[in-house]
Amino acid sequence: MKILLTIFLIILSLQFLAQNPRPEDFGFRHLQMMYKGDSVDILLKSKAGEEFIRKPLFLFCQGSLPQPLIKTDGNQAYSVFPFNTDSLVKDFHLVIISKPNIPIIADVNSLGTNFVYLDPATGKFPRAYSELNLLDYYVDRDEAVIGFLLKLPFVANTALTVAGHSEGSTIAAKLAMKSKRVTHLIYASGCPVGRMLSIVERDRSMEEDTDSTRFAESDFDYWESIAGNKENMDDSYGDTFKATYDFSYPPINYLRELKIPVLVCYGTKDWSAPFNDYLRFEMIRQKKKNFTFKAYIGLEHNFFPLDKQGRANQEILNWDKVAADWQEWIRKN
């Protein structure tokens, strides 16, 4: 009878886990703090058994879209970080912060295209998310989170690495310019001249010599509308004008101010690759010795190779190599 009761309790607990997963079930510590009246979810990834050993922080600023940090599919979960964390956790406590007013965990079957969380009533981005989906909000919030975490006894204040990918690279760059606590910056797959020009380059790549496929002309019309109404917070079509305007301010203006070590990495088939080449050219011209550049030949925005048709081959993952290069660069700097 006791054996049957034990089996029943195990099955019940597994069912509860599947229905009510927690970050701890996937190897994370879940911390929360209040920032300007809103709850902020923070996930910490540490080496097993070394959760309370003093180590510096490695903050990863993810890219765009209102995605939950943990995306489950039954009893399994997609990776929270795009890279395997086993190597980096030897040296750091890894940190990632939730998108504002987006659930920290959601099943993929409840999410929209690209795993975005949508308001069930409208089918669009939640309004509470759009109101805070702004560059300066992320920078100021992340700075507050850093201050919160540095008070924890297992967090060393000897170094602080901030890495950002895509949209997150802009957040990371401005955060590094603003906060004296940041000691190393990794700027990955960013567009040093701003979001809209990366969109233009993307659409240029799809244009053909016909009147009906001059996509970039529409981009410039869109930008003219944004520039003329840059404080507009209407999110009917996704990001607000204000969000796009602020993220389109050239991050090169943040980067050139930095004196800390900076690693710029990008795939040479990324739409923003020419602008990163330009950044490299300028840093050489200005004799900025604190910059290191790593160009991944033939790879695109997410470090996938392209096939003969120009499509990303997602069966070949390079993120672990990229993260290993990050770690090696930090150790050398």
Query: 24: exposed, middle or buried (C-beta count within 10 Å: 0-12, 13-18, 19+)?
Result: exposed
Q: Alpha-carbon distance 1 to 238, whole Å?
A: 57
Position 17 scores a pLDDT of: 44
Residue 64 lies in a domain: yes
Domain count, the chain: 1
Position 75 scores a pLDDT of: 80
Residue 300 lies in a domain: yes
Q: Alpha-carbon distance 45 to 253, whole Å?
A: 32
Q: Alpha-carbon distance 187 to 166, whole Å?
A: 8
Residue 29 lies in a domain: yes
Cβ-Cβ contacts under 8 Å for 274 (sequence gap 6 or more)? 201
pTM for this entry: 0.93
Each residue's pLDDT tens digit, 208-239: 776 666 789 999 999 999 999 999 999 988 89
Q: How far apart are the first and last CA of the chain?
A: 62
Residue listed under structure tokens 């979810």: 41
Position 154 scores a pLDDT of: 98
Each residue's pLDDT tens digit, 124-166: 999 999 999 999 999 999 999 999 999 999 999 999 999 999 9
Other C-beta atoms closer than 10 Å to the C-beta of 187 total: 29
Among 6-10, 150-154, 192-196, 249-253, the least confident range: 6-10
Domain that holds residue 287: 24-194+249-332
B/e letters for 116-141, b = 16+ CB within 10 Å, e = fewer, are bbbeeeeebbbeebbbbbbbebbbbb
Each residue's pLDDT tens digit, 308-317: 888 999 999 9
Residue 170 lies in a domain: yes
- Of 119, 131, 92, 307, the closest CA to residue 235 belongs to 131
237 is written with which tokens?
A: 């079509």
Position 74 scores a pLDDT of: 83
Residue 207 lies in a domain: no
Residue 212 lies in a domain: no
Position 253 scores a pLDDT of: 98
Position 210 scores a pLDDT of: 66
Concatenated DSSP letters of 178-223: H-TT--EEEEES--TT-HHHHHHHHHHTT--SSGGG-HHHHHHHHH
Q: Are strands 29-35 and 38-45 parallel, antiparallel or unpaired?
A: antiparallel
Residue 89 lies in a domain: yes
Do 88 and 137 touch, CB atoms closer than 8 A? no
Do 261 and 333 touch, CB atoms closer than 8 A? yes
- The percentage of residues in the chain with a pLDDT greater than 90, rounded to a whole number, is 86
Each residue's pLDDT tens digit, 2-16: 343 333 223 333 333
CATH assignment of the domain containing 328: 3.40.50.1820
Each residue's pLDDT tens digit, 49-90: 999 999 999 999 999 999 999 999 988 899 999 999 999 999
- Of 288, 294, 277, the closest CA to residue 329 belongs to 294
Position 211 scores a pLDDT of: 62
Each residue's pLDDT tens digit, 91-127: 999 999 999 999 999 999 999 999 999 999 999 999 9
Position 270 scores a pLDDT of: 97
Each residue's pLDDT tens digit, 263-298: 999 999 999 999 999 999 999 999 999 999 999 999
Each residue's pLDDT tens digit, 7-47: 322 333 333 345 689 999 999 999 999 999 999 999 999 99
- Amino acid sitting at position 325: D
Q: What angle do CA 139, 142, 148 make, to 5 degrees?
A: 145
Residue 231 lies in a domain: no
Q: Alpha-carbon distance 306 to 165, whole Å?
A: 19
Concatenated DSSP letters of 124-176: S--HHHHTT--HHHHHHHHHHHHHHHTTSTTEEEEEEEEEEETHHHHHHHHHH
